[in-house]
Chains A and B, each alone.
Chain A
Amino acid sequence: MTVDQLRSWITPPMLVSFAIFGTLPFWIREVGLYPYLGVEVLIFCIYALGYNVLLGYGGLPSFGHGAYFGIGAYAFGIAQLNVVSNLWLCLLAGILAAMLFGAVVALFISHRRGIYFALMTIAFGQMAFFIASKWTSVTKGEDGLLNIARLPVDFGFVSYPIQRNGDFYWFVFACFVVTVIVLWRVVHSPFGKVVQAIKQNEARTAFLGYNVVLYKGLVFALSCAVAGFAGALFAMAQGGAFVQVMNLQWSGVVVLMVLIGGGFVSFWGPVLGVVLYFIARDLLGAYTETWQLWFGLLFMLVVMYKPEGLAGIWQGIVHRKQRPRTSATVHLLAMLKAR
Protein backbone atom coordinates (compact mmCIF):
# COMPACT_ATOMS: atom_id res chain seq x y z
CA MET A 1 0.00 0.00 0.00
CA THR A 2 1.44 3.36 -1.06
CA VAL A 3 1.37 6.45 1.14
CA ASP A 4 -1.34 7.99 -1.07
CA GLN A 5 -3.49 4.88 -0.75
CA LEU A 6 -2.98 4.84 3.00
CA ARG A 7 -3.95 8.52 3.22
CA SER A 8 -7.16 7.79 1.35
CA TRP A 9 -8.07 5.42 4.21
CA ILE A 10 -6.58 7.16 7.23
CA THR A 11 -6.46 10.95 7.41
CA PRO A 12 -4.93 13.37 9.95
CA PRO A 13 -8.34 14.47 11.37
CA MET A 14 -9.18 10.80 11.80
CA LEU A 15 -5.99 10.26 13.81
CA VAL A 16 -6.79 13.31 15.94
CA SER A 17 -10.27 12.01 16.73
CA PHE A 18 -8.91 8.53 17.47
CA ALA A 19 -6.28 10.07 19.75
CA ILE A 20 -8.89 12.12 21.64
CA PHE A 21 -11.35 9.27 22.10
CA GLY A 22 -8.57 6.71 22.53
CA THR A 23 -7.23 8.59 25.55
CA LEU A 24 -10.63 9.66 26.93
CA PRO A 25 -10.77 7.10 29.78
CA PHE A 26 -7.51 8.55 31.11
CA TRP A 27 -8.60 12.19 31.35
CA ILE A 28 -12.38 12.29 31.46
CA ARG A 29 -12.54 12.17 35.29
CA GLU A 30 -9.98 14.97 35.45
CA VAL A 31 -12.41 17.31 33.67
CA GLY A 32 -15.24 16.41 36.03
CA LEU A 33 -17.08 13.98 33.76
CA TYR A 34 -17.52 10.21 33.90
CA PRO A 35 -16.45 7.32 31.60
CA TYR A 36 -19.97 6.17 30.69
CA LEU A 37 -20.49 9.54 28.99
CA GLY A 38 -17.76 8.48 26.57
CA VAL A 39 -19.76 5.37 25.71
CA GLU A 40 -22.86 7.43 24.96
CA VAL A 41 -20.91 9.98 22.94
CA LEU A 42 -19.26 7.33 20.78
CA ILE A 43 -22.52 5.46 20.15
CA PHE A 44 -24.24 8.67 19.10
CA CYS A 45 -21.22 9.61 16.98
CA ILE A 46 -21.71 6.35 15.07
CA TYR A 47 -25.44 7.08 14.73
CA ALA A 48 -24.91 10.70 13.64
CA LEU A 49 -22.11 9.88 11.19
CA GLY A 50 -24.37 7.32 9.51
CA TYR A 51 -27.24 9.79 9.48
CA ASN A 52 -25.02 12.44 7.93
CA VAL A 53 -24.26 10.21 4.94
CA LEU A 54 -27.97 10.55 4.21
CA LEU A 55 -28.53 14.21 5.14
CA GLY A 56 -25.20 15.94 4.63
CA TYR A 57 -23.98 13.99 1.62
CA GLY A 58 -27.26 12.84 0.09
CA GLY A 59 -29.36 15.89 0.96
CA LEU A 60 -32.15 13.55 2.08
CA PRO A 61 -33.78 14.70 5.32
CA SER A 62 -35.11 11.86 7.44
CA PHE A 63 -37.04 12.90 10.54
CA GLY A 64 -37.89 9.38 11.58
CA HIS A 65 -34.43 7.88 11.94
CA GLY A 66 -34.98 6.98 15.57
CA ALA A 67 -37.07 4.08 14.25
CA TYR A 68 -34.00 2.38 12.78
CA PHE A 69 -31.95 3.04 15.90
CA GLY A 70 -34.72 1.40 17.95
CA ILE A 71 -35.17 -1.50 15.53
CA GLY A 72 -31.44 -2.21 15.82
CA ALA A 73 -31.72 -2.20 19.61
CA TYR A 74 -34.76 -4.49 19.65
CA ALA A 75 -33.33 -6.86 17.04
CA PHE A 76 -30.12 -7.14 19.06
CA GLY A 77 -32.06 -7.90 22.24
CA ILE A 78 -34.54 -10.31 20.65
CA ALA A 79 -31.73 -12.21 18.90
CA GLN A 80 -29.76 -12.43 22.14
CA LEU A 81 -32.68 -13.45 24.36
CA ASN A 82 -34.38 -15.83 21.92
CA VAL A 83 -31.96 -17.04 19.26
CA VAL A 84 -28.24 -17.01 19.94
CA SER A 85 -26.00 -15.52 22.61
CA ASN A 86 -23.20 -14.43 20.32
CA LEU A 87 -22.11 -10.79 20.11
CA TRP A 88 -21.28 -10.79 16.40
CA LEU A 89 -24.47 -12.54 15.31
CA CYS A 90 -26.62 -10.31 17.51
CA LEU A 91 -24.93 -7.17 16.17
CA LEU A 92 -25.49 -8.51 12.65
CA ALA A 93 -29.16 -9.04 13.51
CA GLY A 94 -29.43 -5.41 14.67
CA ILE A 95 -27.76 -4.09 11.53
CA LEU A 96 -29.71 -6.31 9.12
CA ALA A 97 -33.09 -5.68 10.75
CA ALA A 98 -32.65 -1.90 10.56
CA MET A 99 -31.28 -2.12 7.01
CA LEU A 100 -34.12 -4.35 5.80
CA PHE A 101 -36.78 -2.13 7.34
CA GLY A 102 -34.97 0.86 5.82
CA ALA A 103 -34.88 -0.84 2.43
CA VAL A 104 -38.64 -1.49 2.57
CA VAL A 105 -39.31 2.14 3.51
CA ALA A 106 -36.93 3.23 0.74
CA LEU A 107 -39.14 1.44 -1.80
CA PHE A 108 -41.90 3.91 -0.94
CA ILE A 109 -39.92 7.11 -0.50
CA SER A 110 -36.91 7.01 -2.85
CA HIS A 111 -38.79 8.50 -5.77
CA ARG A 112 -39.83 11.44 -3.59
CA ARG A 113 -37.78 14.50 -2.77
CA GLY A 114 -37.79 17.52 -0.49
CA ILE A 115 -40.71 17.96 1.87
CA TYR A 116 -42.51 14.86 0.57
CA PHE A 117 -39.49 12.70 1.30
CA ALA A 118 -39.22 14.21 4.80
CA LEU A 119 -42.92 13.74 5.56
CA MET A 120 -42.83 10.12 4.47
CA THR A 121 -39.89 9.43 6.78
CA ILE A 122 -41.88 10.90 9.68
CA ALA A 123 -44.88 8.76 8.76
CA PHE A 124 -42.86 5.55 8.64
CA GLY A 125 -40.95 6.50 11.80
CA GLN A 126 -44.21 7.05 13.67
CA MET A 127 -45.58 3.75 12.35
CA ALA A 128 -42.54 1.91 13.69
CA PHE A 129 -42.83 3.73 17.02
CA PHE A 130 -46.50 2.80 17.48
CA ILE A 131 -45.94 -0.80 16.39
CA ALA A 132 -43.11 -1.09 18.93
CA SER A 133 -45.28 0.50 21.62
CA LYS A 134 -48.25 -1.79 21.05
CA TRP A 135 -46.56 -5.07 20.14
CA THR A 136 -45.92 -5.81 23.78
CA SER A 137 -45.49 -9.57 23.37
CA VAL A 138 -42.25 -8.87 21.47
CA THR A 139 -41.06 -5.45 22.61
CA LYS A 140 -42.56 -5.40 26.13
CA GLY A 141 -44.06 -2.01 25.25
CA GLU A 142 -43.41 0.89 27.60
CA ASP A 143 -41.47 -1.35 30.03
CA GLY A 144 -38.83 -2.05 27.44
CA LEU A 145 -36.99 -5.24 26.59
CA LEU A 146 -34.84 -5.78 29.66
CA ASN A 147 -31.88 -7.96 30.62
CA ILE A 148 -29.92 -7.42 27.43
CA ALA A 149 -26.38 -8.44 28.31
CA ARG A 150 -23.05 -7.10 27.17
CA LEU A 151 -21.93 -10.28 25.50
CA PRO A 152 -18.21 -11.10 25.54
CA VAL A 153 -16.10 -10.16 22.53
CA ASP A 154 -15.37 -13.65 21.31
CA PHE A 155 -12.74 -14.21 18.61
CA GLY A 156 -12.90 -17.99 18.88
CA PHE A 157 -9.44 -18.43 20.34
CA VAL A 158 -9.74 -15.61 22.88
CA SER A 159 -12.69 -13.91 24.57
CA TYR A 160 -12.89 -10.53 26.33
CA PRO A 161 -15.62 -9.69 28.84
CA ILE A 162 -17.10 -6.19 28.40
CA GLN A 163 -19.57 -6.00 31.29
CA ARG A 164 -17.66 -3.20 33.01
CA ASN A 165 -18.12 0.29 31.57
CA GLY A 166 -14.36 0.68 31.16
CA ASP A 167 -14.06 -2.50 29.06
CA PHE A 168 -17.24 -1.75 27.14
CA TYR A 169 -15.86 1.67 26.24
CA TRP A 170 -12.93 0.08 24.37
CA PHE A 171 -15.28 -2.14 22.42
CA VAL A 172 -17.45 0.85 21.43
CA PHE A 173 -14.29 2.80 20.57
CA ALA A 174 -13.22 -0.01 18.22
CA CYS A 175 -16.70 0.09 16.62
CA PHE A 176 -16.33 3.87 16.22
CA VAL A 177 -12.94 3.49 14.52
CA VAL A 178 -14.31 0.91 12.08
CA THR A 179 -17.42 3.02 11.36
CA VAL A 180 -15.39 6.18 10.73
CA ILE A 181 -13.01 4.43 8.32
CA VAL A 182 -15.81 2.65 6.44
CA LEU A 183 -18.02 5.74 6.13
CA TRP A 184 -15.06 7.92 5.15
CA ARG A 185 -14.33 5.50 2.32
CA VAL A 186 -17.99 5.35 1.29
CA VAL A 187 -18.40 9.12 0.99
CA HIS A 188 -15.18 9.40 -1.05
CA SER A 189 -15.97 6.42 -3.27
CA PRO A 190 -17.62 6.60 -6.70
CA PHE A 191 -20.89 5.70 -4.92
CA GLY A 192 -20.43 8.61 -2.53
CA LYS A 193 -19.68 10.95 -5.42
CA VAL A 194 -22.90 9.95 -7.20
CA VAL A 195 -24.88 10.46 -3.98
CA GLN A 196 -23.40 13.97 -3.66
CA ALA A 197 -24.22 14.63 -7.31
CA ILE A 198 -27.84 13.63 -6.66
CA LYS A 199 -27.96 16.02 -3.71
CA GLN A 200 -26.82 18.90 -5.92
CA ASN A 201 -28.82 18.14 -9.03
CA GLU A 202 -31.08 15.12 -9.21
CA ALA A 203 -32.32 15.77 -12.75
CA ARG A 204 -28.84 16.22 -14.17
CA THR A 205 -27.63 13.02 -12.50
CA ALA A 206 -30.50 11.09 -14.10
CA PHE A 207 -29.64 12.58 -17.50
CA LEU A 208 -26.10 11.26 -17.06
CA GLY A 209 -27.47 7.72 -16.93
CA TYR A 210 -27.62 7.10 -13.18
CA ASN A 211 -30.54 5.31 -11.55
CA VAL A 212 -31.23 8.07 -9.05
CA VAL A 213 -34.04 6.24 -7.24
CA LEU A 214 -31.85 3.19 -6.66
CA TYR A 215 -28.96 5.28 -5.31
CA LYS A 216 -31.28 7.14 -2.95
CA GLY A 217 -32.70 3.85 -1.74
CA LEU A 218 -29.25 2.38 -1.17
CA VAL A 219 -27.92 5.35 0.76
CA PHE A 220 -31.07 5.36 2.88
CA ALA A 221 -30.68 1.65 3.68
CA LEU A 222 -26.98 2.16 4.45
CA SER A 223 -27.78 4.97 6.85
CA CYS A 224 -30.46 2.81 8.51
CA ALA A 225 -27.96 -0.04 8.88
CA VAL A 226 -25.54 2.27 10.72
CA ALA A 227 -28.40 3.52 12.91
CA GLY A 228 -29.26 -0.11 13.67
CA PHE A 229 -25.63 -0.78 14.59
CA ALA A 230 -25.62 2.19 16.97
CA GLY A 231 -28.98 1.06 18.38
CA ALA A 232 -27.60 -2.41 19.10
CA LEU A 233 -24.64 -0.89 20.95
CA PHE A 234 -27.03 1.36 22.88
CA ALA A 235 -29.10 -1.67 23.91
CA MET A 236 -25.92 -3.20 25.34
CA ALA A 237 -24.95 0.07 27.01
CA GLN A 238 -28.32 0.45 28.70
CA GLY A 239 -28.96 -3.25 29.29
CA GLY A 240 -32.28 -2.98 27.48
CA ALA A 241 -34.15 -1.75 24.42
CA PHE A 242 -36.70 1.01 24.96
CA VAL A 243 -39.36 2.41 22.72
CA GLN A 244 -38.63 6.07 23.60
CA VAL A 245 -35.62 6.21 21.29
CA MET A 246 -37.99 5.63 18.36
CA ASN A 247 -40.23 8.61 18.99
CA LEU A 248 -40.27 11.80 16.97
CA GLN A 249 -38.37 13.80 19.57
CA TRP A 250 -35.43 11.38 19.61
CA SER A 251 -35.46 11.28 15.83
CA GLY A 252 -35.11 15.05 15.93
CA VAL A 253 -32.13 14.90 18.28
CA VAL A 254 -29.86 13.32 15.68
CA VAL A 255 -30.90 15.99 13.14
CA LEU A 256 -30.05 18.64 15.71
CA MET A 257 -26.66 17.09 16.42
CA VAL A 258 -25.75 16.86 12.74
CA LEU A 259 -26.88 20.38 11.88
CA ILE A 260 -25.31 22.11 14.88
CA GLY A 261 -22.08 20.22 14.28
CA GLY A 262 -22.00 21.16 10.60
CA GLY A 263 -22.70 17.92 8.76
CA PHE A 264 -23.41 19.84 5.57
CA VAL A 265 -19.86 21.09 5.28
CA SER A 266 -17.75 18.46 7.00
CA PHE A 267 -17.56 14.73 7.59
CA TRP A 268 -16.65 15.57 11.21
CA GLY A 269 -19.58 17.88 11.82
CA PRO A 270 -21.75 15.18 13.40
CA VAL A 271 -18.99 14.28 15.88
CA LEU A 272 -18.74 17.92 16.99
CA GLY A 273 -22.53 18.11 17.26
CA VAL A 274 -22.75 14.96 19.39
CA VAL A 275 -19.99 16.14 21.73
CA LEU A 276 -21.66 19.55 22.11
CA TYR A 277 -25.06 17.93 22.75
CA PHE A 278 -23.79 15.68 25.54
CA ILE A 279 -21.65 18.38 27.10
CA ALA A 280 -24.70 20.67 27.08
CA ARG A 281 -26.84 17.92 28.56
CA ASP A 282 -24.43 17.18 31.38
CA LEU A 283 -23.01 20.63 32.12
CA LEU A 284 -26.05 22.80 31.42
CA GLY A 285 -28.24 20.03 32.83
CA ALA A 286 -26.36 20.27 36.13
CA TYR A 287 -27.49 23.88 36.49
CA THR A 288 -30.96 23.85 35.04
CA GLU A 289 -33.66 21.37 34.09
CA THR A 290 -34.48 23.54 31.12
CA TRP A 291 -31.17 22.85 29.38
CA GLN A 292 -33.02 21.67 26.28
CA LEU A 293 -34.57 25.13 25.97
CA TRP A 294 -31.08 26.67 25.85
CA PHE A 295 -29.84 24.03 23.49
CA GLY A 296 -32.88 24.70 21.27
CA LEU A 297 -32.06 28.41 21.30
CA LEU A 298 -28.48 27.60 20.33
CA PHE A 299 -29.85 25.53 17.44
CA MET A 300 -31.98 28.48 16.31
CA LEU A 301 -28.99 30.82 16.44
CA VAL A 302 -26.89 28.39 14.42
CA VAL A 303 -29.60 28.00 11.78
CA MET A 304 -30.06 31.79 11.57
CA TYR A 305 -26.47 32.99 11.65
CA LYS A 306 -24.18 30.07 10.85
CA PRO A 307 -26.08 27.29 9.10
CA GLU A 308 -22.77 25.55 8.39
CA GLY A 309 -22.56 24.77 12.12
CA LEU A 310 -19.48 24.31 14.28
CA ALA A 311 -17.51 22.78 11.43
CA GLY A 312 -18.37 25.81 9.31
CA ILE A 313 -17.11 28.16 12.02
CA TRP A 314 -13.88 26.17 12.24
CA GLN A 315 -13.44 26.17 8.44
CA GLY A 316 -14.03 29.93 8.43
CA ILE A 317 -11.24 30.44 10.98
CA VAL A 318 -8.81 28.22 9.07
CA HIS A 319 -9.72 29.93 5.78
CA ARG A 320 -9.12 33.37 7.27
CA LYS A 321 -5.71 32.28 8.54
CA GLN A 322 -4.75 30.84 5.17
CA ARG A 323 -5.99 33.82 3.15
CA PRO A 324 -3.02 35.59 1.56
CA ARG A 325 -2.33 39.10 2.84
CA THR A 326 -3.43 41.84 0.50
CA SER A 327 -0.83 44.28 -0.75
CA ALA A 328 -2.38 46.94 1.50
CA THR A 329 -1.91 44.73 4.56
CA VAL A 330 1.67 43.94 3.57
CA HIS A 331 2.36 47.67 3.08
CA LEU A 332 0.82 48.52 6.46
CA LEU A 333 2.86 45.85 8.23
CA ALA A 334 6.04 47.11 6.54
CA MET A 335 5.25 50.65 7.76
CA LEU A 336 4.68 49.49 11.32
CA LYS A 337 7.89 47.47 11.21
CA ALA A 338 9.85 50.48 9.95
CA ARG A 339 8.66 52.50 12.97
Chain B
Amino acid sequence: MALFEAQGLHMRFGDRVVLEDITLDFPEGQLSGIMGPNGAGKTTCFNVLTGRYRPTRGRVVFDGQDITGLPPRTIARKGVSRSFQLMNLFNDFTAEENVLVALPEMRERGFDVIGNAMGDRILRLRAEEVLERVGLGGKGGELAKNLSYGDRRALEIGVALAARPRVLFLDEPTSGLGTDAIVRLAQLIARLKGELTIVAIEHDMEFLFGLADSIAVIHWGQVIRRGTPAELRTNPWVQNSNLGRLK
Protein backbone atom coordinates (compact mmCIF):
# COMPACT_ATOMS: atom_id res chain seq x y z
CA MET B 1 0.00 0.00 0.00
CA ALA B 2 1.25 3.48 -0.82
CA LEU B 3 2.32 5.59 2.13
CA PHE B 4 2.44 8.78 0.08
CA GLU B 5 0.36 9.64 -2.96
CA ALA B 6 -0.03 12.43 -5.47
CA GLN B 7 -3.45 12.37 -7.11
CA GLY B 8 -4.02 14.35 -10.29
CA LEU B 9 -1.71 17.24 -9.39
CA HIS B 10 -1.82 20.33 -11.56
CA MET B 11 0.39 23.32 -11.01
CA ARG B 12 0.50 26.48 -13.05
CA PHE B 13 2.43 29.71 -12.59
CA GLY B 14 0.42 32.36 -14.43
CA ASP B 15 -0.15 31.04 -17.94
CA ARG B 16 2.54 28.43 -17.67
CA VAL B 17 1.47 24.88 -16.85
CA VAL B 18 4.32 23.20 -14.94
CA LEU B 19 2.63 20.04 -13.72
CA GLU B 20 -0.27 18.34 -15.44
CA ASP B 21 -2.25 15.49 -13.95
CA ILE B 22 0.63 14.01 -11.98
CA THR B 23 -0.45 10.84 -10.25
CA LEU B 24 2.22 8.97 -8.30
CA ASP B 25 2.33 6.63 -5.36
CA PHE B 26 5.25 5.80 -3.14
CA PRO B 27 4.94 2.43 -1.34
CA GLU B 28 6.12 2.18 2.26
CA GLY B 29 9.71 1.06 2.74
CA GLN B 30 10.62 1.39 -0.94
CA LEU B 31 12.87 3.77 -2.81
CA SER B 32 10.95 5.47 -5.60
CA GLY B 33 12.82 7.47 -8.19
CA ILE B 34 11.74 10.39 -10.31
CA MET B 35 13.75 11.23 -13.40
CA GLY B 36 13.42 13.55 -16.33
CA PRO B 37 15.29 16.22 -18.25
CA ASN B 38 16.01 19.72 -16.92
CA GLY B 39 12.89 21.82 -16.63
CA ALA B 40 10.61 18.77 -16.67
CA GLY B 41 8.94 19.82 -13.43
CA LYS B 42 10.59 17.38 -11.03
CA THR B 43 11.60 19.90 -8.37
CA THR B 44 8.25 21.69 -8.66
CA CYS B 45 6.64 18.32 -8.06
CA PHE B 46 8.77 17.91 -4.92
CA ASN B 47 7.86 21.40 -3.79
CA VAL B 48 4.17 20.64 -4.15
CA LEU B 49 4.50 17.30 -2.35
CA THR B 50 6.38 18.85 0.59
CA GLY B 51 4.17 21.92 0.97
CA ARG B 52 6.27 24.70 -0.53
CA TYR B 53 3.65 25.26 -3.23
CA ARG B 54 -0.06 24.66 -3.06
CA PRO B 55 -1.18 22.75 -6.20
CA THR B 56 -3.66 24.43 -8.53
CA ARG B 57 -5.62 21.18 -8.54
CA GLY B 58 -5.26 17.67 -7.18
CA ARG B 59 -4.49 16.10 -3.83
CA VAL B 60 -1.48 15.04 -1.82
CA VAL B 61 -2.17 12.17 0.58
CA PHE B 62 0.17 10.97 3.31
CA ASP B 63 -0.73 7.91 5.35
CA GLY B 64 -4.38 8.28 4.37
CA GLN B 65 -4.52 11.98 5.36
CA ASP B 66 -5.09 14.76 2.86
CA ILE B 67 -2.14 17.13 3.34
CA THR B 68 -2.74 19.26 0.24
CA GLY B 69 -1.69 22.87 0.76
CA LEU B 70 -0.59 22.42 4.35
CA PRO B 71 2.45 24.56 5.23
CA PRO B 72 5.88 22.88 5.15
CA ARG B 73 6.19 22.95 8.94
CA THR B 74 2.95 20.98 9.40
CA ILE B 75 3.92 18.43 6.76
CA ALA B 76 7.37 18.11 8.35
CA ARG B 77 5.80 17.46 11.75
CA LYS B 78 3.77 14.62 10.25
CA GLY B 79 7.00 12.83 9.31
CA VAL B 80 7.99 14.14 5.90
CA SER B 81 11.54 15.36 5.48
CA ARG B 82 13.46 16.60 2.48
CA SER B 83 16.86 17.57 1.20
CA PHE B 84 17.40 20.28 -1.39
CA GLN B 85 19.01 20.38 -4.84
CA LEU B 86 20.87 23.56 -3.89
CA MET B 87 22.33 22.87 -0.51
CA ASN B 88 20.30 24.34 2.26
CA LEU B 89 22.34 24.10 5.43
CA PHE B 90 22.83 26.39 8.40
CA ASN B 91 26.27 27.49 7.28
CA ASP B 92 27.32 29.29 10.47
CA PHE B 93 26.37 26.32 12.64
CA THR B 94 28.63 23.36 13.19
CA ALA B 95 27.63 20.03 11.67
CA GLU B 96 26.43 18.97 15.12
CA GLU B 97 24.30 22.08 15.55
CA ASN B 98 22.77 21.55 12.10
CA VAL B 99 21.63 18.10 13.17
CA LEU B 100 20.60 19.18 16.69
CA VAL B 101 18.21 21.82 15.38
CA ALA B 102 16.58 19.18 13.19
CA LEU B 103 15.91 16.74 16.04
CA PRO B 104 12.22 16.47 16.96
CA GLU B 105 13.15 16.80 20.67
CA MET B 106 14.74 20.17 19.97
CA ARG B 107 11.66 21.21 18.02
CA GLU B 108 9.50 20.38 21.04
CA ARG B 109 11.78 22.48 23.26
CA GLY B 110 11.88 25.34 20.77
CA PHE B 111 10.12 27.80 23.06
CA ASP B 112 12.44 27.12 26.00
CA VAL B 113 14.21 30.45 26.57
CA ILE B 114 16.26 29.50 29.62
CA GLY B 115 17.65 26.00 28.97
CA ASN B 116 21.00 25.37 27.34
CA ALA B 117 20.58 24.38 23.68
CA MET B 118 23.89 22.51 23.68
CA GLY B 119 23.65 21.25 27.23
CA ASP B 120 21.57 18.11 26.78
CA ARG B 121 24.00 15.17 26.54
CA ILE B 122 21.34 12.77 25.28
CA LEU B 123 20.45 15.07 22.37
CA ARG B 124 24.11 15.55 21.54
CA LEU B 125 24.58 11.79 21.50
CA ARG B 126 21.63 11.49 19.12
CA ALA B 127 23.14 14.14 16.89
CA GLU B 128 26.46 12.28 16.94
CA GLU B 129 24.65 9.05 15.97
CA VAL B 130 23.09 10.79 12.97
CA LEU B 131 26.47 12.17 11.93
CA GLU B 132 28.02 8.69 12.23
CA ARG B 133 25.20 7.30 10.14
CA VAL B 134 25.90 9.67 7.26
CA GLY B 135 29.66 9.20 7.51
CA LEU B 136 30.46 12.44 9.33
CA GLY B 137 31.55 10.93 12.64
CA GLY B 138 34.18 13.12 14.27
CA LYS B 139 33.29 16.14 12.16
CA GLY B 140 30.53 17.45 14.43
CA GLY B 141 32.59 20.44 15.56
CA GLU B 142 33.32 21.73 12.06
CA LEU B 143 31.35 24.64 10.66
CA ALA B 144 29.03 23.51 7.88
CA LYS B 145 30.50 26.12 5.55
CA ASN B 146 33.99 24.65 6.01
CA LEU B 147 33.03 21.09 5.08
CA SER B 148 33.91 19.63 1.69
CA TYR B 149 31.18 19.49 -0.95
CA GLY B 150 30.66 15.75 -0.44
CA ASP B 151 30.46 16.14 3.33
CA ARG B 152 27.96 18.98 2.92
CA ARG B 153 25.78 16.71 0.80
CA ALA B 154 26.01 14.03 3.49
CA LEU B 155 25.14 16.62 6.15
CA GLU B 156 22.16 17.74 4.07
CA ILE B 157 20.86 14.17 4.25
CA GLY B 158 21.82 13.98 7.93
CA VAL B 159 19.71 17.05 8.71
CA ALA B 160 16.77 15.48 6.87
CA LEU B 161 17.28 12.19 8.70
CA ALA B 162 17.61 13.83 12.12
CA ALA B 163 13.94 14.72 11.99
CA ARG B 164 13.28 10.94 12.04
CA PRO B 165 10.96 11.05 9.03
CA ARG B 166 8.74 8.31 7.66
CA VAL B 167 9.21 9.66 4.16
CA LEU B 168 12.46 11.18 2.95
CA PHE B 169 12.52 13.26 -0.24
CA LEU B 170 15.97 13.65 -1.79
CA ASP B 171 16.31 16.29 -4.49
CA GLU B 172 19.25 15.39 -6.76
CA PRO B 173 21.47 14.06 -3.97
CA THR B 174 24.43 13.36 -6.29
CA SER B 175 24.42 16.85 -7.82
CA GLY B 176 28.00 18.15 -8.02
CA LEU B 177 29.57 15.07 -6.43
CA GLY B 178 32.64 13.22 -7.69
CA THR B 179 32.70 9.47 -8.35
CA ASP B 180 33.96 8.46 -4.89
CA ALA B 181 31.44 10.64 -3.13
CA ILE B 182 28.63 9.21 -5.28
CA VAL B 183 29.67 5.68 -4.31
CA ARG B 184 29.64 6.63 -0.61
CA LEU B 185 26.25 8.29 -1.00
CA ALA B 186 24.86 5.23 -2.81
CA GLN B 187 26.06 3.06 0.09
CA LEU B 188 24.39 5.39 2.58
CA ILE B 189 21.08 5.40 0.71
CA ALA B 190 21.22 1.63 0.29
CA ARG B 191 21.56 1.37 4.09
CA LEU B 192 18.56 3.67 4.60
CA LYS B 193 16.44 1.70 2.13
CA GLY B 194 13.98 -0.48 3.95
CA GLU B 195 14.22 1.63 7.11
CA LEU B 196 12.13 4.41 5.61
CA THR B 197 10.30 5.37 2.47
CA ILE B 198 12.55 7.32 0.12
CA VAL B 199 11.68 9.36 -2.93
CA ALA B 200 14.62 10.64 -4.98
CA ILE B 201 14.88 12.94 -7.95
CA GLU B 202 18.05 12.08 -9.81
CA HIS B 203 19.86 12.82 -13.02
CA ASP B 204 22.47 10.12 -12.57
CA MET B 205 20.72 7.17 -14.19
CA GLU B 206 23.22 4.55 -13.04
CA PHE B 207 22.79 5.75 -9.47
CA LEU B 208 19.01 5.70 -9.64
CA PHE B 209 18.68 2.44 -11.55
CA GLY B 210 20.98 0.76 -9.07
CA LEU B 211 18.97 1.77 -6.03
CA ALA B 212 15.33 2.39 -6.93
CA ASP B 213 12.50 -0.12 -6.64
CA SER B 214 10.41 1.85 -9.11
CA ILE B 215 10.94 4.91 -11.25
CA ALA B 216 8.64 7.51 -12.78
CA VAL B 217 9.79 9.55 -15.78
CA ILE B 218 8.49 13.12 -15.90
CA HIS B 219 8.64 15.20 -19.07
CA TRP B 220 6.78 18.40 -19.94
CA GLY B 221 5.17 18.27 -16.50
CA GLN B 222 3.59 14.87 -17.09
CA VAL B 223 4.39 11.33 -16.03
CA ILE B 224 5.27 9.67 -19.33
CA ARG B 225 6.58 6.30 -18.10
CA ARG B 226 6.55 4.32 -14.87
CA GLY B 227 8.04 0.98 -14.01
CA THR B 228 10.80 -0.95 -12.33
CA PRO B 229 14.40 -0.23 -13.34
CA ALA B 230 14.40 -3.47 -15.34
CA GLU B 231 11.30 -2.42 -17.27
CA LEU B 232 12.60 1.05 -17.98
CA ARG B 233 16.06 -0.18 -18.89
CA THR B 234 14.65 -1.77 -22.06
CA ASN B 235 12.36 1.14 -22.82
CA PRO B 236 13.41 2.77 -26.11
CA TRP B 237 12.53 6.27 -24.93
CA VAL B 238 14.75 5.94 -21.90
CA GLN B 239 17.48 4.30 -23.95
CA ASN B 240 17.49 7.19 -26.39
CA SER B 241 16.90 9.97 -23.94
CA ASN B 242 19.57 12.51 -23.19
CA LEU B 243 19.48 11.66 -19.48
CA GLY B 244 22.75 9.79 -19.68
CA ARG B 245 23.76 6.41 -20.98
CA LEU B 246 23.02 3.22 -19.12
CA LYS B 247 25.67 0.55 -19.15
Interface residues of A (CB under 8 A from B): 4-5, 8, 185-186, 188-194, 196-197, 200-201, 203-212, 215, 218
Residue B101 at the chain A interface, CB threshold 8 Å: yes
Would A191 and B93 be within 8 Å (CB), given that A207-B76, A208-B107, A210-B73 are in contact?
Answer: no
A98 CB to closest chain B CB (Å) equals: 18
Q: Contact check: which of B52, B109, B110 meets A215 at CB < 8 Å?
A: B110
Contacts of A218 in B (CB 8 A): 111
* Residue of A with least CB distance to B103: A208
* Chain B residues with CB below 8 A from A5, complex form: 119
Q: A8, A194, A206, A215: which contacts B116 (Cβ < 8 A)? A: A8
**Please, how many angstroms separate the alpha-carbon atoms of A210 and B89 in the complex?**
15
Q: How far is the CB of B177 from chain A (nearest CB, A)?
A: 20
CB of B114 within 8 A of CB of A210, answer: no
Quote the shortest CB–CB distance from A121 to chain B (angstroms).
23
Interface SS of A by simple majority: helix
A204 x B90 contact (CB < 8 A): yes
For B40-57 the 0/1 string (1 means CB < 8 A from A) is 000000000010100000
- List B contacts of A191 (CB < 8 A): 110-113
B88 contacts A by Cβ under 8 Å: yes
A193 to B118, CA, bound (A): 9
Contacts of B106 in A (CB 8 A): 190, 193
Asked whether A208 lies within 8 Å of B101 as measured between CB atoms, the reply is yes
Main secondary structure of the interface of B (DSSP, over half): loop
Enumerate B87-109 residues with CB–CB distance to A below 8 Å: 88-93, 97, 100-102, 104, 106-107, 109
B117 A201 Cβ-Cβ under 8 A: no
Asked whether A200 and B107 contact (CB < 8 A) given A185-B114, A207-B50, the answer is no
Q: A197-B101, A200-B91, A201-B88 are in contact. Are A209 and B117 (CB under 8 A)?
A: no
9 pairs, A vs B, C-beta closer than 8 Å: A191-B110, A194-B101, A197-B90, A197-B101, A203-B72, A206-B72, A208-B159, A209-B104, A209-B163
CB neighbours of A203 from chain B (8 A) = 52, 72, 88
Q: Give CA–CA (A185, B112) in the complex, Å.
A: 10
